[in-house]
Amino acid sequence: MPELTGQHWIGGRSSRASAPSFRAANPATGQALEPGYAEATPAEVDAAAQAAEAAVESYASLAPARRSAFLRAIGEAIAGLGDALLDRTEVETGLPRPRLASERGRTIGQLKLFADVVDEGSWVEARIDQALPDRQPLPRPDIRRMLVPLGPVAVFGASNFPLAFSVAGGDSASALAAGCPVVVKAHPAHPGTSELVARAILEAARATDMPEGVFSMVHGATPAVGQALVTHPLIQAVGFTGSLRAGRALCDAAQRRPQPIPVFAEMGSANPVFVLPRALAERGAAIAKGLAASVTLGSGQFCTNPGLTLVLRSPAADAFLERTAALLTAAPAGTMVHAGIKSSYDAALAEVEGLPGVGVLARSTSHGPHAGSEARPALLATEASVFTAQPRLGDEIYGPVTLAVRCDSKVQLLELARGLHGHLTATVHATPEDLVEFSELLAVLRRKVGRLIVNGYPTGVEVSHAMHHGGPYPATSDPRATSVGSAAIKRFARPICFQDAPAPALPEELRDANPRGIWRLVEGAPTRDPV
Amino acid sequence: MPELTGQHWIGGRSSRASAPSFRAANPATGQALEPGYAEATPAEVDAAAQAAEAAVESYASLAPARRSAFLRAIGEAIAGLGDALLDRTEVETGLPRPRLASERGRTIGQLKLFADVVDEGSWVEARIDQALPDRQPLPRPDIRRMLVPLGPVAVFGASNFPLAFSVAGGDSASALAAGCPVVVKAHPAHPGTSELVARAILEAARATDMPEGVFSMVHGATPAVGQALVTHPLIQAVGFTGSLRAGRALCDAAQRRPQPIPVFAEMGSANPVFVLPRALAERGAAIAKGLAASVTLGSGQFCTNPGLTLVLRSPAADAFLERTAALLTAAPAGTMVHAGIKSSYDAALAEVEGLPGVGVLARSTSHGPHAGSEARPALLATEASVFTAQPRLGDEIYGPVTLAVRCDSKVQLLELARGLHGHLTATVHATPEDLVEFSELLAVLRRKVGRLIVNGYPTGVEVSHAMHHGGPYPATSDPRATSVGSAAIKRFARPICFQDAPAPALPEELRDANPRGIWRLVEGAPTRDPV
């Protein structure tokens, strides 16, 4: 395994201006892990932002094939870390090895996806309206528009996906693909994993001859480093996945800047699951099995964990909840990615269980070798009237739990749905007849979420062109943005238009001959033809 | 002329819960214009937002042809107001009749453009990734994504375009086209114009059988009404054109909400014009003529007014500035759209003229019949070193003035360009040889603006598919958004994706057969074919 240095990486060089002040811990045992990591100083944050700024023009002007080669080289360098990476990630996060291997595959896959998007090139949304010199009363100029990178982007590593939403995760991959240099704030729960991946990125940057400031990474265990980064005048956008509290603090800080900047924060979501009557009667046991598996996947540490389950009161609903309770009682407790997450889970459960009208239908009795660090799956239950009166019940409890809400009528179910705030996903289990009877429910849910799932489970977010992983506040800070799938690249770019610019002053994408062969909107119609 | 009532229009009905407290004034004479208008009360703002919310689902679910018919009917109803509309607008704004006639044409043209966009239908960015049931290790679900409306939108009428950026202007047209109900806060300088246009919209809504809350309009002369609207929990996005101070206040208020919402504010821009040496030598007099015309167009009340003119010191530059000074000295003063704009212009000019190192090269000596209300065109001049040391000089002076900045060298010119904040546009007058020599300048300007013009003038914003009217802060609050051109519709929509939804639960746009014949991204490739 490459020796960890505990350093920040700024503009291609290591740095550590202050003494180490924190270490990762094995979340199963609490054992501290070497080496120590330091809080980046304000000067180090500034140096990282300056390095990124210095790289902006050279990186943005690289031929797309150079940029895609860099993204692919990052994937290869991560793969090249081999077991050493998974060894460290496993001990830092307690996540099971097969899950980490699959997450690594996804991370490399995302880098390749964005490399393909860059190579194909149409993501820049080129639009051309040609001059009409004879138009009356005034001639029309030649107008050509495309997306260009926003500038240096700050990315915050997430704790729950130490590879796929962290140093070289979707935010970094999409920002680098868009042509933006990236400064990562590593998550303090997995600094060693972060260091290994950062060094892989730097190795790829050297191998593909990228400008030095294209990637930097700083450490910090307090909010100060992140705040310094988000408020740095050279940073132009932020990608974040984490808690509502932390995400909102970053959004507010970004808005208080002299120049406000966009923050793409993916935050809390309870991902309601509606199990409709006929589906419940036809296959309640199967849905209970799928639901319990989704609730406990990764110890409930998925943004799309189904934290709310809504049913209409009936004998079939009772049987469904009994079955779900039995499965969750038997489901093994699991180690959470860090001690803070585990204690927050226990505290939130205790709070909600203590609310009047909330009952505990199940609490897992099965634990592993490190019971003290493990989160025990649970099934809570309440009535729609209680749910509606208690806003806390609609918020996320981060961990392997779902709150079942029993409704007395379709009207009450619809009212409950109308009262939901924003979530990443909603799921409906339904027969074709249910879908007809509850079409109004689907119309309501379309206003509430970024993804609507029929007869499936919300965990497992496909990385593809059509995926939208986002949703109305508080699920995210900007419902127009996705953090998964190829459309994520659009977050880090903005349009510029050229008026009457001669060919040499135009980017290749906008030249008459269309040398890159991309799809363009010419006079409003998509085409790959030259103009 | 239809009799003006002085009322708000809320959910299709007139309302006035408080006494009239302000009147429009003829900006040329100061004469107050009947009728009086009242500040909307908090209950009236709430009623407008509630009416919009009540219309959300029914309006969003209308067939696109219904929505486009409504947009076209608005245009016809505005045309149907005939001279009565222009009579009132002229007396409320002091803008010349031919300009108002042309602005009315542009307003109707924008409504038609968005109607065409809605009819064509591809603006929803449909994307389809079909199921791969046999994929290993896990099957891929069917994922389909498209844009859906954000919900009720608040639009602020702008003073400088009483038709094209006001009640039925680009923001309203694009929000309505996206499927969002609109609540307009009328600009208090042209409440009568606003009332006439609002009633035309309501007539069109009735004629095309739209839901009642699809459009409301409230009046107010203090910031309270706008603040109440932007902070109303049902409002989901805001369109604004106006000053940096007012726009920033709205952005900050929107971010302080429990649920922050996007504000698309187009604010201050000085639109720098670089006149490069060979162009200056070859056709300095012609550029001076074009520049003076652009500076004085609409009495300098365009967002894209060229407020900065940058040259390299030379005899040709001196001649160019002398020529420009002569033209601006002779240019007639013009009435500003309201007294506040005129006094702000005079105050800003006085402030800048008083700065050390700033000289006055020209001040128009020609005025019309209402000298007291007219803004006098001006040419100011300074040196690059003074400009760089005085941040105030880079900010907009709203009115018919440009500040010429003389640079000693190409290096100094580039340094000045690098120090610019965001603007809507930058213009370069250049020969082909200039463009080669100053290619670095163009690269720098691409980071600073939303539109880069070569050998033209920034005023006159084409309404087309490729137009981008936006730019980095403080030009706008979101450099990814345009307020002019067909892409403006994207501001008011967000993606939703459907996973494994059967055909009856899918919008038409996402069904296999592609019944609307729209362009869709299927497995990442654009096509109009069915799947």
Tell me the pLDDT tens digit for each residue of A305-325: 999 999 999 999 999 999 999
**B244, B316, B257: which is closest to B281 by C-alpha?**
B316
CA dist B152 and B229 (Å) reads 11
Confidence at residue B373, expressed as pLDDT on a 0 to 100 scale: 87
Looking at residue B278, its pLDDT comes to: 98
pLDDT of B368 > 90? The answer is no
- Three-state DSSP at B445 gives helix
* Average pLDDT rounded to a whole number, residues B82-110: 97
Mean pLDDT of A59-75: 97
Mean of per-residue pLDDT scores for chain B: 96
State the DSSP H helix or E strand holding residue B231, giving kind and residue range, or none if neither. none
The answer to whether B473 faces chain A, any CB pair under 8 Å, is yes
Q: How far apart are CA A495 and CA A504, in angstroms?
A: 19
- Smallest CA–CA distance, residue A290 to chain B, in Å, is 15
Q: Which residues contact A65 (CB under 8 A, 6 or more apart)?
A: A119
List the single residue in A466, A495, A523 with the smallest CB-CB distance to B129.
A466
Query: Residue type at A115?
Result: A
Answer yes or no: is pLDDT of B89 > 80: yes
Task: Compute the nearest-CA separation of A150 from chain B (Å).
Answer: 8
pLDDT tops 80 at residue B1: no
- Per-residue pLDDT, A1: 57
Q: How confident is the model at residue B370 (pLDDT cuts 50, 70, 90)?
A: confident
> Quick one: pLDDT at residue A268?
86
Alpha-carbon separation of residue A226 from A22, B27, B340, B508 (angstroms): 16, 50, 42, 44
Q: What is the DSSP letter of A3?
A: P
Pick from B135, B145, B153 the residue to mutate for testing the A interface (most A CBs within 10 Å).
B145
Please tell me the distance from the alpha carbon of residue B458 to that of residue B425, in angstroms, as a whole number.
7
Contact A464 B143 (CB under 8 A): yes
Does residue B506 carry a pLDDT above 70? yes
Residue A371: per-residue pLDDT: 84
Contact B474 A499 (CB under 8 A): no
Each residue's pLDDT tens digit, B180-227: 999 999 999 999 999 999 999 999 999 999 999 999 999 999 999 999
pLDDT at B100: 97
Task: Give the model's pLDDT for residue A57.
Answer: 94
Does the active-site annotation cover A303? Answer: yes
Distance from CA of B440 to the nearest CA of A (A): 10
pLDDT classification of A369: cutoffs 50, 70, 90? confident
Preferred mutation among A480, A489, A510, A529 to probe B, highest tally of B CBs within 10 A:
A480
Task: Provide the pLDDT for residue A366.
Answer: 86
The three-state secondary structure class of B429 is: strand
pTM of the shown model = 0.97
Q: Please check whether residue B310 is in contact with residue B273, taking contact to mean a CB–CB distance below 8 angstroms.
A: yes
Structure tokens at A412: 């009450």
Percent of the residues in chain B that have a pLDDT greater than 70, as a whole number: 100
- How many angstroms away from the CA of A301 is the closest CA of chain B? 20
Give the number of C-alpha atoms closer than 13 A to the C-alpha of residue B383, restricted to the C-beta side.
6
The answer for residues whose C-beta is within 8 angstroms of residue B130's C-beta and 6 or more apart is B142, B522, B523, B531
The per-residue pLDDT for range B252-281, each reduced to its tens digit, is 999 999 999 999 999 989 999 999 999 999
Is the minimum CB–CB distance between B442 and chain A shorter than 8 Å? yes
The two three-digit tokens of residue A407, written as one number: 């409704």
- Pick the residue of B465, B486, B520 with the most A CBs within 10 A to test the interface with A by mutation: B465
Are the CB atoms for A220 and A194 separated by under 8 Å?
A: no
Does the structure show a pLDDT above 60 at A282? Answer: yes
The number of residues in chain B equals 531
Helix-, strand-, coil-residue percentages of chain B, each rounded to 5: 45, 20, 35
Q: Exposed, middle or buried by CB within 10 Å (0-12, 13-18, 19+), for A30?
A: exposed
Task: Give the list of residues 6+ apart from residue A345 with CB closer than 8 angstroms, or none.
Answer: A300, A336, A375, A397, A398, A399, A401
Q: How confident is the model at residue A27 (pLDDT cuts 50, 70, 90)?
A: very high
**Angle A244-256/B244-256 helices, nearest 10 degrees?**
170
Q: Which amino acid is at B225?
A: V
d(CA B427, CA B442): 10
Cis peptide before B356 (omega within 30 of 0): no
Q: Which pLDDT belongs to residue A373?
A: 87
* B240/B476 Cα distance (integer angstroms): 10
Collapse the DSSP code of B254 into the 3-class scheme (helix H, G, I; strand E, B; otherwise coil) and give the result: helix
Does B407 qualify as catalytic in the annotation? no
Please give the Cα distance from B366 to B294 (Å, whole number).
18
Tell which phi-psi region holds residue A272, choosing left (phi > 0), alpha (psi between -120 and 50) or beta.
beta
For B:196-255, CB contacts with A below 8 A are: 251-252, 255
pLDDT in tens, B393-451: 999 999 999 999 999 999 999 999 999 999 999 999 999 999 999 999 999 999 999 99
Rounded CA gap, B336 and B484, in Å? 23
Q: Is B120 on the interface with A (CB under 8 A)?
A: yes
- B12-23 pLDDT tens trace: 999 999 999 999
Average pLDDT over residues B308-315: 98
Q: What is the pLDDT of residue B268?
A: 86
Do the Cβ atoms of B252 and A255 come within 8 Å?
Answer: yes
Of B141, B144, B260, the CB nearest to A477: B260
B494 → closest Cβ in A439, A480, A521: A480
- Provide the shortest C-alpha distance from residue A351 to chain B (in Å): 22
Query: Which of A172, A471, A446, A497 shows the shortest CA–CA distance to B507?
Result: A446
